Structure 1
Amino acid sequence: MEIDKSILDKVNVWLTPVFDNETHTSLQEMMASSPKELEDSFYKNLEFGTGGMRGIMGPGTNRINKYTLGKATQGLSDYLKKSFPSEELKVAIAYDCRHNSDTLAKTVADVFSANGIKVFLFSDLRPTPELSFAVKHLSCHAGIVLTASHNPPEYNGYKVYWQDGGQLVPPQDKEVIDVIEALEYGQINFNANENLIEYIGEVMDNAFIRSSLINASFNTPQEAKDALKIVYTPLHGTSVTLIPDLLEDAGYSNVNIVAEQAKPDGDFPTVKSPNPEEPEALSMAIALADEVNADIVIGTDPDSDRLGVAVRNGNGIMTLLNGNQTMVLMTHFLLEQWKKQGKIDGKQFVGSTIVSTPMMMELASAYGVECKVGLTGFKWIAKMIKDFPEQEFIGGGEESFGFMVGDAVRDKDAVTSTLLLCEIAAQAKANASSLYQELLKLFVEFGFYKEYLISITKKGMEGAAEINNMMIQMREKPLTEINGQRVLMVEDYKASTAKNLLNGEEETLTLPKSDVLIYYLEDGTKICARPSGTEPKIKFYFSVNAPLDDVTNFKAVEASLDKKIKNITEEMNLV
């Protein structure tokens, strides 16, 4: 294939002496044998999405490498100096188990130190939530974690945190990006000042564990803890550095770790995808749970911010819960504990997102607590805490298997959430119940909400264009009826409009602009379309609901909701 001139112009810049010989060699090989790969490596610059900057590793502007990360770090260094001109600047850096994460983290530390900024660098891999905690604990101005979360092995990423321990949000995000984009690669200062780099580890681990114990322990009797049988897998990731110690310190001794997945490994050899959202990822853990007759399975993704959960259903069979279900269980438990302690006085809130279950609103309302709803991504929930200091944050989550307990960590936190789920499960079992039964009780009390996700992958430049065209079509030809139900409202977060299709009236949405469409149907169904901010995917979220008068009718009502989802997805040509 013929390579576009605009691509070749970018490649030629990367063949100058600013870039090392290894980069030159890789690019020359791609030019000769892989023009398609070369095009994908340079057709755009890596962008900051819902979870920071994430991409395939390799040379090029659309790849994760020492130069794209070096440029981002140089820009962030310049921005920090401008933002805090009279302060001694400090940053914290962590990294996960992925290939090159340790060397890329050191490169980032080198650039910060070369710019006169004090660096606290973790001496070995650590979970992302510990980085968020460390930023606040060490009074840093910013933080970086090198991770691609649950993406495939060829990916890595770069997430930026601000003083509050939350990820960059407006206006800082755009301001930082503008500084980065204005830089030339030759302006990156890679000459480290080793005197400004301090390695951290065990002391910070202990502080984080203490914080998790404070936030997620709720007077569970020791005999209840002893009776709970747990299977845990880190899926070859970072959580193995903290979760076993946390559970032991909390008094949970009956913990069975999946041995084959206990060692950190960036190839993730035992799973197709190290994503707890994927049922296959927990198959080995479920097999071990059946072998030891465990009550609960918990698996965390490589950087330990997401967790997947399986529990025994009414027939004793291990059943996977989705992110909305675990979020509802944890939120209800926290609300109930705060109520028992007399801590709810109308000044508290929980957090959720526009693509998560509407059941969160029902829970919050029942306890006289506000439910704030933001865009997808935990940076928006962290921003809620910062924007409303007069209110207390109880907890919050999103459908993509993330949850945050209290405000010590300002990002989704599978470490603390693991302990919280064990507390809920242990207390339920002690009361002759289970997590599964507790969930059914919530459906009876607040309504049976059933969610479903379809994720369509479209890789490369053509894939990005295809996803964009799908969104354009849905905007230009909006659906007015789905599965025999009228569409009452369409929210377009890119246009910041909420249009009532019955009377034509429009309202302005107050959340920041985002490429998201949400349909609300007259029977309470909610359908959302959203291109991923970190992966080459477009996601469709479905939420349907119905009353559940008694747990004995669960299967029948679930079957009717499943049929409704099937009809909707078929009508929308998504299956």
Structure 2
Amino acid sequence: MNEPSPSLDSQQAIEIARSAVTEKQLSDSAFTNLQRWLTEPQYAPYQAALLQLIEDRDFGTLDTYFWEVIPFGTGGRRGLMSDLGSATINERTIAESAHGLAAYYKKASGNETGKAAIAHDSRINSNRFARIAASVIAAHGLTVYFYKTSRSTPELSFAVRHLGCDVGAMITASHNPPSDNGFKAYWSTGGQVLPPHDQGIIDEVYQATDVPMLDFDQAVEQGLIKYIDEDVASEYRSSVIAQSHSTNRDLNGLFSPLHGVGETSVFHVLQQVGFDGVKRFEPQCEQNGNFPNVPDQLPNPERTEVYQPAIALGNETGAEIILASDPDADRLGVCARNEAGDFVHLTGNQVGALLADYVLQKRHTAGTLTPDHFVVETIVTTPLIAAVSRAANVRIINNLLVGFKYIAETMDEEGPCKFVFGTEESLGYLAGEYCRDKDAAIAALWICELAAELKSEGKTLLNRLDELYIEHGYHLEGQISKTCKGSSGNEQIKQLMKAFRQTPPQKMGNLTFTLVRDYQNLEIRALPENSPSETFSKPQGNVLMFEAQAEGSPLTVQLGVRPSGTEPKIKFYYFAQAGVTDPAQLAETKSGVLTTIEGFKQALMDWIDQTLETS
């Protein structure tokens, strides 16, 4: 970075920053972290730039850069990139993350040596950050296995397991904007780090002073960093393909990696098994961290907008399905044609239900299912999957906190050989034993197989979904989120969680709330009294799940509330269920449920706005 020439010294800068706290221009937490960076020797390379920002009284920027020590959330450390700051992704925080992972591994294992795998996606700075992480971990005495080219997150998880590594790291910010990047930490299972490891790593990060680092190229020459070759990637793809349950390949479609790495995994798998009719959507295939041809440059396959360019081409070419993976190719989104010929974006809950039903039907026919087999989902994933699983006479484990790492943990606790399928509502899916993180490639393989089989029967994915509704009841789910950035946004999220917990709403639209399950306090409270009626033991996390009943209707609705672990958002999940006694009533049921939910959503946002205004 260019070295500014500020006139302040560190002590003067601290006093100015202290005054900014008094004047509410800088948060207390930002001041605490800023003081460390101004006084501790490991941050000396950044101090001139900091002094200049303080001299310029740029407290808004300083608060953004320092309001927190960027934590390990549900998807690792993720956030805005900058040249400096404890709350952002930069060379120092990446180096500290790698140091924390290696130092904690050595302390927890008692070993001074070990093996680590590292991969990166195609985001801005991902390769540079991955090289820094590799150089730090190698300096700790671990042999590093390094993907030379951009790869998917599930390929990193696979490499950790396949190469017998003790830890792993993936440089990615998943579906975040171009401004962001991140660091995902993995343990020897191939899954993301879980408690207590995550806290142990962040403790080492916070205590980091001088971070050891080797020269990357010299470490490669000395064999301390070894490149992962194509053989490992080929083994990964073979492991995905081994999960195939059909040979029907007659399907026309488009696949977009949204300028990410999905071509290395998703598209290669589809081509290798013979889905020749599924073509690349070329305008979004170039690996480019600016995501130039994705609407709004937001490469999240949960957003319907990202599919519009591919839909335009799909309408010209007669495509029957459109697939999109996020930049690190661990999530998959799907659009399918309805009977009117229009493309409909399927939610993660709908795709998860279709895939669960598909694999359970296939394995039942093959005679490879027993009552000991199990399907796993999180507490904010559709109850339809539980209904499908119970109908297939397999276990459903659906009391997990948000985060695919908990699905991976459950796989290992319950026995991978009995694991059938794991899914979460945010487009995450996994099957098989080859990996311990969600994988867009296995989802693409199965959804294409299912679509091709349905096509041979004159049906579509949407037809099959309606059949599931008729069998198990109509389910409508969705998510709303409110973005709250920086330290002030963090306070807003805390205020909303407090209000939902202490003074919850009694009604929203024509829905009346009857109880709330509080996963932080581990109790169920009756509403409107908000008085405890029952306790439970797990899982524990900052999540609230409300139950509501519609007036004069058998419709039941659940509302989940939680702060995001990877983005500056508070998320609201709704789940509506209504019985369908007659197939002819399905369309009317859908319309009635949608009307109720639209009123509920508006009332929810009004309540949120009012709560923030009065707090």
TM-score (norm 1): 0.94
- Aligned pairs for 1:58-457 (under 5 A) are 58=82, 59-86=84-111, 88-181=113-206, 183-186=207-210, 188-192=211-215, 193-194=219-220, 195-215=223-243, 217-221=244-248, 225=249, 227-271=250-294, 272=296, 273-373=298-398, 374-389=400-415, 392-457=418-483
47-56 vs 552-561, which moves further? 552-561
135-144 vs 84-93, which moves further? 84-93
CA distance in 2, matches of 1:274, 1:155: 12
SS in 2 for 1:346: coil
Asked if the contact 2:417–2:433 (Cα under 8 Å) also holds between the matched residues in 1, the reply is no
Q: Structure 1 198/20 Cα, relative in aligned 2: closer, same or farther at 3 Å?
A: farther
Map of 1:530 onto structure 2? 562
SS in 2 for 1:525: strand
Cα displacement string for residues 38-68 of structure 1 (whole angstroms, at most 9, x for unaligned residues):
1121121001111111111111100111211
Q: Which runs of 5+ in 2 are unaligned?
A: 1-16, 550-554, 608-615
Asked if the contact 1:452–1:565 (Cα under 8 Å) also holds between the matched residues in 2, the reply is no
Map of 1:3 onto structure 2? 20
AA partner of residue 543 (structure 1): F
Asked if the contact 1:230–1:255 (Cα under 8 Å) also holds between the matched residues in 2, the reply is yes
56-65 vs 384-393, which moves further? 384-393
Q: Structure 1 196/440 Cα, relative in aligned 2: closer, same or farther at 3 Å?
A: same
CA distance in 2, matches of 1:390, 1:206: 22
Query: Deviation at 1:552?
Result: 4.6
Query: Deviation at 1:408?
Result: 1.7
CA distance in 2, matches of 1:203, 1:60: 39
Asked if the contact 1:220–1:426 (Cα under 8 Å) also holds between the matched residues in 2, the reply is no
CA distance in 1, matches of 2:35, 2:493: 30
Query: Deviation at 1:421?
Result: 0.8
Map of 1:56 onto structure 2? 80
Number of corresponding residues: 567
129-138 vs 74-83, which moves further? 74-83
Asked if the contact 1:450–1:544 (Cα under 8 Å) also holds between the matched residues in 2, the reply is yes
- Aligned pairs for 1:453-492 (under 5 A) are 453-492=479-518
Asked if the contact 2:416–2:433 (Cα under 8 Å) also holds between the matched residues in 1, the reply is no
CA distance in 2, matches of 1:496, 1:545: 25
Map of 2:9 onto structure 1? none
SS in 2 for 1:3: helix
Map of 1:520 onto structure 2? 547
Query: Deviation at 1:25?
Result: 5.2
Q: Structure 1 297/20 Cα, relative in aligned 2: closer, same or farther at 3 Å?
A: farther
| Structure 1 vs Structure 2 CA RMSD | 2.0
Cα displacement string for residues 194-249 of structure 1 (whole angstroms, at most 9, x for unaligned residues):
4310011311110011001001x11323xxx1x31011000000111222221111
- Aligned pairs for 1:496-575 (under 5 A) are 496-501=522-527, 506-522=533-549, 523-574=555-606
CA distance in 2, matches of 1:176, 1:19: 20
Cα displacement string for residues 314-357 of structure 1 (whole angstroms, at most 9, x for unaligned residues):
21111111110000000100111111111121111111111111
CA distance in 1, matches of 2:146, 2:208: 26
Query: Deviation at 1:184?
Result: 3.2
Map of 2:610 onto structure 1? none
SS in 1 for 2:475: strand
Asked if the contact 1:450–1:545 (Cα under 8 Å) also holds between the matched residues in 2, the reply is yes
1-10 vs 413-422, which moves further? 1-10
Cα displacement string for residues 265-295 of structure 1 (whole angstroms, at most 9, x for unaligned residues):
1111122110001111111111111111111
CA distance in 2, matches of 1:137, 1:344: 27
AA partner of residue 477 (structure 1): T
CA distance in 2, matches of 1:447, 1:473: 33
CA distance in 1, matches of 2:606, 2:571: 11
Percent identity over paired residues: 35
AA partner of residue 259 (structure 1): E
AA partner of residue 14 (structure 1): W
Query: Deviation at 1:35?
Result: 2.0
SS in 2 for 1:437: helix
Asked if the contact 1:349–1:391 (Cα under 8 Å) also holds between the matched residues in 2, the reply is no
Query: Deviation at 1:391?
Result: 6.2
Asked if the contact 2:119–2:147 (Cα under 8 Å) also holds between the matched residues in 1, the reply is yes
Q: Structure 1 366/203 Cα, relative in aligned 2: closer, same or farther at 3 Å?
A: same
SS in 1 for 2:302: coil
CA distance in 2, matches of 1:10, 1:82: 26
CA distance in 2, matches of 1:301, 1:411: 14
Q: Structure 1 265/93 Cα, relative in aligned 2: closer, same or farther at 3 Å?
A: same
AA partner of residue 117 (structure 2): A
CA distance in 1, matches of 2:426, 2:134: 31
SS in 1 for 2:68: coil
Asked if the contact 2:473–2:580 (Cα under 8 Å) also holds between the matched residues in 1, the reply is yes
CA distance in 2, matches of 1:386, 1:171: 17
CA distance in 1, matches of 2:331, 2:344: 18
Query: Deviation at 1:518?
Result: 0.7
Asked if the contact 2:265–2:329 (Cα under 8 Å) also holds between the matched residues in 1, the reply is no
CA distance in 1, matches of 2:125, 2:334: 29
Query: Deviation at 1:26?
Result: 4.1
Query: Deviation at 1:505?
Result: 5.1
AA partner of residue 237 (structure 2): I
SS in 1 for 2:242: helix
Query: Deviation at 1:33?
Result: 6.0
TM-score (norm 2): 0.88
AA partner of residue 290 (structure 2): D
Asked if the contact 2:332–2:440 (Cα under 8 Å) also holds between the matched residues in 1, the reply is yes
Query: Deviation at 1:104?
Result: 0.5
CA distance in 2, matches of 1:174, 1:149: 22
Q: Structure 1 229/118 Cα, relative in aligned 2: closer, same or farther at 3 Å?
A: same
Query: Deviation at 1:18?
Result: 3.0
Asked if the contact 2:117–2:169 (Cα under 8 Å) also holds between the matched residues in 1, the reply is yes
CA distance in 1, matches of 2:528, 2:501: 17
CA distance in 2, matches of 1:574, 1:260: 39
CA distance in 2, matches of 1:239, 1:562: 34
Query: Deviation at 1:405?
Result: 1.8
Asked if the contact 1:124–1:201 (Cα under 8 Å) also holds between the matched residues in 2, the reply is no
CA distance in 2, matches of 1:259, 1:68: 35
Query: Deviation at 1:415?
Result: 1.4
Alignment partner of 1:38 is 2:62:
yes
Asked if the contact 1:467–1:538 (Cα under 8 Å) also holds between the matched residues in 2, the reply is yes
